[in-house]
Structure 1
Amino acid sequence: MGPSMPTPRPANRSYSTEALERWFTSLPEGWERGFKKADLVEGRRIYTEGLVRSLELKPQTAEAVTRTDTLTVRAVIELAEKGIEWRTSLPEEENGAPYAVAAMYEVEELLGDEISPIDDSAPAATVAAPIEPERKDAGARTALKLQVAFELTSGGLTAAASWAGRGGHAWSCFGSGAVPGDELSDEQRQTLFRFSTVAHRAGFTYSKTAGTWAIDNIGRIERFVREELAEWRKRFRLVGEESLDIFRNEQLQVEVDADAESGADGKSFRLNWRLKAGKHRLLAEEQKLLLKAGGRPVILPGKGVVAYNAAVADFSEDWRAKEGEVPRYLLLSLFDHAAVGALKLNDDLKAWKDRLLQEPVLPEDLPAHLRPYQAKGVAWLARLCELGAHPLLADEMGLGKTVQVLALLASRPAGERTIIVCPASVIPVWIGEIKRFHPELSASVFVLTADDDFVRNPAARLWISSYTQLRRHADQLAKTRFGYAVLDEAQAIKNPESKTTQTCVSLQADHRIAITGTPLENRPTDLWTILRFLMPGLLGKRAQFERLMLRDPQAALGKVRRQVSPFVLRRLKRHVAADIPPKMEVVLPCPLTHEQRALYQHLTQGSGLSGELATLLSRDATSVLTLLMRLRQVCCDPGLLPENHDCPSAHSGKITLLVSKLAEVAANGSKAVVFSQFVSLIERVKSALARELPHLPIFELTGETKDRSTPVERFKDTKGPALFLASLKAGGTGITLNTAEYVFLLDPWWNPAVEAQAVDRVHRIGQKNPVLIYRMIAPGTVEERIEELKQEKRELFSTVVGDIPDMTDWTRHFSSLDALIRLSDSPAASASAEAAAAEREPEH
């Protein structure tokens, strides 16, 4: 902003000596406090633009007329007992305050220009350490000149007025040591009054105790220097003016000057940091002033007006708490920090950083079953653990995150024990993958339950726990240390305030690993919580992080991505298409809930059917098939049984797991197809999805659908995530769903050929992406035994008469009905059911 325009004189001034003296002695010093800031600003504009055309000053009142291009406003000011009162000619609903303010400024200018005497009742004070003047005759006083001495401190600008004589002597203008008014000439008296008037107008406030005028607002000081100091230079002798030069420059931004040196253990570092403003290093006392100001600019005499921005404030608050040596991963929080200028690293830390960012070398001793991209994932996990960092494996669903982590645990063991924490429904998946790929670890696997924990079984090497069971054993964690602590589906700890999250954060481990298939790059709060578990401090304190996101979400998001990218590995199926087959089939264990287990056992024990399977089939095949059908319905959802149709979907392990998987599919922007032979199950899935994923587009095709082509085309044309629900019969032939990447077979069909037809609706000509097929099987039930039999001898099911399979060869595999339908009570299955029931309970 440039210098202000000179204030034009009003077109007409009318006043008397009596009016001048009365207003001079009665005008309240703090009259501006009676107006709002916006009205003062607007009134000053009206005044400085010369819009006040006339002023009539009377002993009790002042009347000013303001004319603009569109209106004329009359303002009347009255001297009252406790200040001033005002009114204008504007209607009551319009704001006349700015016109009253302009009139007051006009009155002040008139007094400054025209008053000749001032009396001894004017405010009196003394400058600091005044020099007692010699008593000379009044004629000698006339040679004194008004001198204004400026003193700039961090608290603001002070101006002290004094009368300067020859030989460097000066006498205060105000106070007990002031030159008496009757010894001043009329010109001196008028000069003194003008000083008071222009100081007040410039924003200075008079202090009777200090005898000085001061401004403590940096903006007002800057305006004074830019717009009014030159005029003061013409009117008065100025001392200390050079200290104000800092206000002619841009405000200085505080930066952090930092260097890092390696810790003695090779896994930590020490940060030496200082604050600087421009080229000036800030002293400890100056840093305290900046901190106390809470982000407001501060005057640092000799240096400048210094702005202590939010980034520096956050840095100072954060790193003052980090004394001594800290983990090396925190270096990544500094490279892209808005407060840090150039971070200096010693050679050891430079080498650490280079290794962190380089492509890892594949070890030769990795398991042969790993696909190439999985081997790279294991090498990446191992390298981060070796460097003292803690990785987040975020591959898209279906790429084998479990397999990669198990390969790491098997090939790079650490510590006395390892813990894997996951949702209850996923416990059988981990146990199944261990048996399949690392049977040597099976004997050392234990599931955390109410009856088996770290105290009762201190020798256990590998623990698998649900989040709920871990929370229930939180009191044991302080005395238990792990080599690895792995969180599967780590988005479960997205709520930083929950007891589950706090329990996970309290885990003591040499290496921490988080796994999620849900993209987190656009969900920064969830990412902050997971990183708090992995590497506390990397993203700062939660309050700082949230402030950063509120100030500039896009810039903050970009910064967060750059900061965490070395510790996050996320690959989509399309990225590794060359390493995976076009169609992958996976058995997805769906453990029964407590309610399903109880109902399943009730059906098996109360059927009245027992004995050799061959005999029962020959004597009463219909009853056997009816029982099998009811058991399969229970495996899917207890609500499929007519007598149980009101039970909530949470009692179904399959629906619960399916909704979780579909949430992940939707978060990745993908499409999925769900097949079931039970139309009623499709309806219950729809109801659950309406509650849990209300924004997911859902299309349906069953035997009751008359227009088959419309839902198919709408599904194909939908951009982004979508779900297609189909019965095996209706959706198994005659349609193409090749925009989907995931298929969920909710219940195994007797005939694999029917399943194959359904899968081919998705995996057929035109499909551009690999397709992942999930067969959802309840472990330890008839479903699992039939599925194992199908995989062992697929041709056994090649012949179908209607919906009834040819069961002739079943007797070769199952000697009795009990062998086919009994509920296997494995520790993993019962522990999973117990954990699933606990997960439905609210946290206390």
Structure 2
Amino acid sequence: MLVEVARDVDAAVKRPPSSPAVRTKFQVVALLVREERARVKADDSLTTSKRAEELKRLDGVATMLAKTAARDTSLLALLADDARVSDAARALKAKVMRAGGLEPPEPSEDPTPVAPTTPTFSSSPQVVPRSVVSRQMANPFLAPDFEAAAQRAAPRARRLAGWELLEPLFRSFEKAATGAPACMALPDPRPVPVPSGRDLMPHQAQVVTAAARGHRTFLLADEPGLGKTAQALLAAQAADAYPLLVVVPNVVKANWAREVALWTPSRRSTVVHGDGDQMDGFADVVIVNYEILDRHVGWLGDLGFRGMVVDEAHLIKNKTSQRSQHVLALSDRIRTRVARPLLMALTGTPLINDIEDFRAIWQLLGWIDAKGPLGALADALEDTGLTPADPGFSAAARASVIDMGIVRRRKIDVVADIPARRVADLPVELDGAAGRSIRAAEAALTARLVQRYTTALELRTGGSVVDEIDGIDHELVRRVAAAELKDSTSKAGGENVFTMVRRIGQAKAGPAADYAAQLARNVGKVVFFAKHVDVMDQAEQLFAERGIRYASIRGDQTTKVREKNITAFVEDPDVQIVVCSLTAAGVGLNLQVASNLVLAELSWTYAEQTQAIDRIHRIGQAEPVTAWRIIAAQTVDSRIAELIDSKSGLAARALDGASEEDVTSATSVQLETLVGQLTDALRPPELV
């Protein structure tokens, strides 16, 4: 009997999608194989050879199930220890047992209620940063949330209690899809207080207004470039969801800290690195990356967060991964302690790709657990008055999930809100040996500049630095910087501003390529620009390792190869990224099939940067263009970016015929970079 049912399941799974009935059969056969193995092993009346024969036959059925699950991996969730066994599954199990000559056990009159499963915390060695201990000692008691306790104590009677609901919920996004992005009804935007010099776009203000009115769960799936980070931070401020936990990929940790300072300057943020020795345990916003959660998940669960933001939330789709389990455990702990915490999952991935991937995200937001819908979503499904057997259930179920807080806008949907093109800086931190080496080289360069300045000052004042010179001699600073630049240009070898910028570009190659890969997965085609061949090589290697098809445009290619690669990127939907040399591909190309561009290395001129952006920002481009500029935080890279931006107006006037070429040249940016380094080194620390 088990073999026969297993074959039926395998045949059905070959014709996806798997129906609920097929999934129930799979679960029943797996349960019976598990029980039969236990019974055979415990049966003392069987001889050794007979027991081995029976176990071999059961292993054959188990092998069939494994091959079936390999075709539809979502079936594996039915084998989990906490997987829900529906009434339909129990009835089928009894039927199969009777057909196989076994009498099913009598159902219990008063079954023992099963406690809800809670995601477990990491078994890895845990750390507790010293500043966190200080915070806990300063306030050892968390204020009780009586509303949370009341909600847990008074569950509502469920009309749909006997129905399998998760599968119909997921399939409703396929059966009742309208073709438009899934997006909840959002309120008209109200004025949102933002810091001076910052502008919140209307589509961003809608989410913040919804949070201010009491909405507390969001699956924010706007396309990249629409300002999800600002929406999340201002929503947390509107909901007073502090302290706020932010879980992000490593590549954007520094950017989140920067965005906190820009959008909510009254709130302190702290970034957790390594064991957290340098973090601020009293900060309002705690930023931690997925990779180190295993060390910190314990104290993070006890800190008393009232809100949680998970960036690039599609990274938790595999519920069996440690990363997913840690995030879900933290969300569960927060929801246990706080009645209505702010929970936000940020992702640019379209929801219609594979709705099964969003099972973990819905659980993170508290919409479902491993068994079925929870809380407000369960109430909404009850209020439809429908069951999964009714024709209108899919449309009503899809609408109920979307109303829980799915927000998806595309650039083209809000084109009036955003500029036709913009440059968005993404600061990244250079960790490890490469980062330490670059910082050491930058310190050595600065020390050399200071030594040159001090020596020149001593010679001018007759052998010693005298007190009569008040402050900094800026003219001397410029002369020292010019001399250093001349030496750097004329001498081969040695550490100078050019070799340092080159090394920074090499160190940024990995994070830049990683971000380009995320963009390609989220929005489609992406243009990747770099100055140096080794940076292009590193990026292409990462894309190849991740199975991302790419084209390459370099200076050493023949015209035929170049045209072939351009055509592949423009016309082949499977070629997601084109890797371009900033000098070889900066002009004469039309790549407007993409609207997102990654600048992995900085130019020395604003014009060169603009030429690269103009490869996609051309007549015929239907969407706003975003250029993502990767900046190495706390290095000379940041200064160069500021100088390039400051020259943009001068460059524009030069193009209009003004004689500003000398001010906007690469040499001027290089000189100003060295001037800035030396000036900051000479200032008192409190003025830097």
Q: Which TM-score bucket, shorter chain as reference?
A: 0.5 to 0.7
Alpha carbons 1:799, 1:806 under 8 Å: kept: no
Question: Is the alpha carbon distance of 1:520 and 1:453 closer, same or farther for their aligned partners in structure 2, counting shifts above 3 Å?
Answer: farther
Question: Is the alpha carbon distance of 1:691 and 1:363 closer, same or farther for their aligned partners in structure 2, counting shifts above 3 Å?
Answer: same
- CA offset digits 1:781-807 (Å, max 9, x no partner): 111111112222436676369995236
Structure 2 counterpart of 1:587, which letter?
Answer: D
Tell me the residue number matched to 1:624: 488
- CA offset digits 1:383-414 (Å, max 9, x no partner): 5xx35x52211111111100101111222213
Cα distance in 2, alignment partners of residues 749 and 516 from structure 1: 30
Tell me the residue number matched to 2:205: 375
Alpha carbons 1:420, 1:465 under 8 Å: kept: yes
- CA offset digits 1:171-209 (Å, max 9, x no partner): xxxxxxxxxxxxxxxxxxxxxxxxxxxxxxxxxxxxxxx
Question: Is the alpha carbon distance of 1:631 and 1:460 closer, same or farther for their aligned partners in structure 2, counting shifts above 3 Å?
Answer: same
More helix by proportion, 1 or 2? Answer: 2
**Residue correspondence of structure 1 range 109-188 to structure 2 within 5 A:** none
Structure 2 counterpart of 1:747, which letter?
Answer: E
Tell me the residue number matched to 1:487: 310
Greater relative contact order structure (CA < 8 Å, 6+ sep): 2
Tell me the residue number matched to 2:672: 810
The 3-state SS of whatever aligns with 1:805 is helix
Is residue 2:421 matched to residue 1:576? Answer: no
Structure 1 counterpart of 2:244, which letter?
Answer: T
Residue 288 of structure 1: CA displacement?
8.7
Is residue 2:537 matched to residue 1:537? Answer: no
Cα distance in 1, alignment partners of residues 573 and 232 from structure 2: 33
The 3-state SS of whatever aligns with 1:578 is coil
- CA offset digits 1:566-616 (Å, max 9, x no partner): 231111111211221211211111221222222213423556833345344
Tell me the residue number matched to 2:459: none
Tell me the residue number matched to 1:413: 240
Residue 777 of structure 1: CA displacement?
1.1
Tell me the residue number matched to 1:397: 224
The 3-state SS of whatever aligns with 2:217 is coil
Tell me the residue number matched to 2:325: 502
Structure 2 counterpart of 1:409, which letter?
Answer: A
Single out whichever of 373-382 and 744-753 deviates more from structure 2.
373-382
- CA offset digits 1:56-75 (Å, max 9, x no partner): xxxxxxxxxxxxxxxxxxxx
Structure 1 counterpart of 2:428, which letter?
Answer: C
Alpha carbons 1:496, 1:502 under 8 Å: kept: yes
Question: Is the alpha carbon distance of 1:538 and 1:326 closer, same or farther for their aligned partners in structure 2, counting shifts above 3 Å?
Answer: farther
Structure 2 counterpart of 1:462, which letter?
Answer: V
**Residue correspondence of structure 1 range 795-806 to structure 2 within 5 A:** 799=661, 805-806=667-668
The 3-state SS of whatever aligns with 2:620 is coil
For structure 2, the residue ranges without an aligned partner over 5 or more in a row are 5-85, 99-110, 118-148, 167-182, 335-340, 374-391, 454-476, 490-494, 652-659, 683-687
Cα distance in 2, alignment partners of residues 770 and 336 from structure 1: 49
Cα distance in 1, alignment partners of residues 568 and 413 from structure 2: 27
Question: Is the alpha carbon distance of 1:321 and 1:618 closer, same or farther for their aligned partners in structure 2, counting shifts above 3 Å?
Answer: closer
Alpha carbons 1:372, 1:579 under 8 Å: kept: yes
Question: Is the alpha carbon distance of 1:788 and 1:667 closer, same or farther for their aligned partners in structure 2, counting shifts above 3 Å?
Answer: same
Structure 1 counterpart of 2:541, which letter?
Answer: S
The 3-state SS of whatever aligns with 2:497 is helix
Structure 2 counterpart of 1:698, which letter?
Answer: A
Structure 2 counterpart of 1:405, which letter?
Answer: A
Q: Which of 519, 532, 540 is the matching residue for 1:665?
A: 519
Structure 2 counterpart of 1:447, which letter?
Answer: V
Question: Is the alpha carbon distance of 1:411 and 1:604 closer, same or farther for their aligned partners in structure 2, counting shifts above 3 Å?
Answer: same
Cα distance in 1, alignment partners of residues 162 and 614 from structure 2: 49
Residue 660 of structure 1: CA displacement?
3.1
Question: Is the alpha carbon distance of 1:801 and 1:404 closer, same or farther for their aligned partners in structure 2, counting shifts above 3 Å?
Answer: closer
Question: Is the alpha carbon distance of 1:604 and 1:372 closer, same or farther for their aligned partners in structure 2, counting shifts above 3 Å?
Answer: closer
Is residue 2:334 matched to residue 1:528? Answer: no
Question: Is the alpha carbon distance of 1:794 and 1:331 closer, same or farther for their aligned partners in structure 2, counting shifts above 3 Å?
Answer: farther
Structure 2 counterpart of 1:624, which letter?
Answer: S
- CA offset digits 1:470-500 (Å, max 9, x no partner): 3312222443221111111112322322333
Q: TM-score, normalised by structure 1?
A: 0.49
Residue 720 of structure 1: CA displacement?
5.5
Cα distance in 2, alignment partners of residues 799 and 412 from structure 1: 50
**Residue correspondence of structure 1 range 416-495 to structure 2 within 5 A:** 417-441=243-267, 444-449=268-273, 452=276, 459-495=282-318
More strand by proportion, 1 or 2? Answer: 1
Residue 697 of structure 1: CA displacement?
3.5
Q: TM-score, normalised by structure 2?
A: 0.60
Structure 2 counterpart of 1:481, which letter?
Answer: G
Question: Is the alpha carbon distance of 1:751 and 1:324 closer, same or farther for their aligned partners in structure 2, counting shifts above 3 Å?
Answer: closer
Cα distance in 2, alignment partners of residues 766 and 392 from structure 1: 32
Question: Is the alpha carbon distance of 1:713 and 1:414 closer, same or farther for their aligned partners in structure 2, counting shifts above 3 Å?
Answer: closer
Alpha carbons 1:333, 1:563 under 8 Å: kept: no
Residue 739 of structure 1: CA displacement?
1.1
Cα distance in 1, alignment partners of residues 363 and 282 from structure 2: 29
Cα distance in 2, alignment partners of residues 372 and 678 from structure 1: 40
Structure 2 counterpart of 1:733, which letter?
Answer: V
Cα distance in 1, alignment partners of residues 158 and 556 from structure 2: 57
Alpha carbons 1:733, 1:761 under 8 Å: kept: yes
Alpha carbons 2:554, 2:580 under 8 Å: kept: yes
Cα distance in 1, alignment partners of residues 155 and 313 from structure 2: 20
Cα distance in 2, alignment partners of residues 658 and 424 from structure 1: 12
Cα distance in 2, alignment partners of residues 330 and 514 from structure 1: 27
Question: Is the alpha carbon distance of 1:521 and 1:818 closer, same or farther for their aligned partners in structure 2, counting shifts above 3 Å?
Answer: same
Question: Is the alpha carbon distance of 1:810 and 1:321 closer, same or farther for their aligned partners in structure 2, counting shifts above 3 Å?
Answer: closer
Structure 2 counterpart of 1:609, which letter?
Answer: R
Question: Is the alpha carbon distance of 1:406 and 1:375 closer, same or farther for their aligned partners in structure 2, counting shifts above 3 Å?
Answer: same
Alpha carbons 1:738, 1:761 under 8 Å: kept: yes
Alpha carbons 1:669, 1:721 under 8 Å: kept: no
Question: Is the alpha carbon distance of 1:815 and 1:290 closer, same or farther for their aligned partners in structure 2, counting shifts above 3 Å?
Answer: closer
Cα distance in 2, alignment partners of residues 808 and 669 from structure 1: 35
Q: Percent identity?
A: 26
Alpha carbons 1:521, 1:527 under 8 Å: kept: no
Q: Which of 428, 448, 452 is the matching residue for 1:609?
A: 448
Tell me the residue number matched to 1:565: 402
The 3-state SS of whatever aligns with 1:747 is coil
Question: Is the alpha carbon distance of 1:623 and 1:609 closer, same or farther for their aligned partners in structure 2, counting shifts above 3 Å?
Answer: farther
Aligned residues: 475
The 3-state SS of whatever aligns with 1:506 is helix
Cα distance in 2, alignment partners of residues 518 and 617 from structure 1: 47
Tell me the residue number matched to 2:38: none
Alpha carbons 1:518, 1:664 under 8 Å: kept: no
Residue 538 of structure 1: CA displacement?
5.2
The 3-state SS of whatever aligns with 1:731 is coil
Alpha carbons 2:211, 2:238 under 8 Å: kept: no
What CA RMSD, in Å, does the superposition of the two structures yield over aligned residues? 4.5
Structure 2 counterpart of 1:440, which letter?
Answer: S
Residue 779 of structure 1: CA displacement?
1.4
Question: Is the alpha carbon distance of 1:359 and 1:763 closer, same or farther for their aligned partners in structure 2, counting shifts above 3 Å?
Answer: closer
Cα distance in 1, alignment partners of residues 437 and 97 from structure 2: 73
Question: Is the alpha carbon distance of 1:761 and 1:790 closer, same or farther for their aligned partners in structure 2, counting shifts above 3 Å?
Answer: same
Cα distance in 2, alignment partners of residues 331 and 747 from structure 1: 59
Residue 635 of structure 1: CA displacement?
1.2
Q: Which of 423, 428, 440 is the matching residue for 1:590?
A: 428
Q: Which of 71, 82, 90 is the matching residue for 1:291?
A: 90
Question: Is the alpha carbon distance of 1:376 and 1:450 closer, same or farther for their aligned partners in structure 2, counting shifts above 3 Å?
Answer: same
Alpha carbons 1:392, 1:513 under 8 Å: kept: yes
Residue 562 of structure 1: CA displacement?
5.2
Alpha carbons 1:419, 1:486 under 8 Å: kept: yes
Structure 2 counterpart of 1:438, which letter?
Answer: T
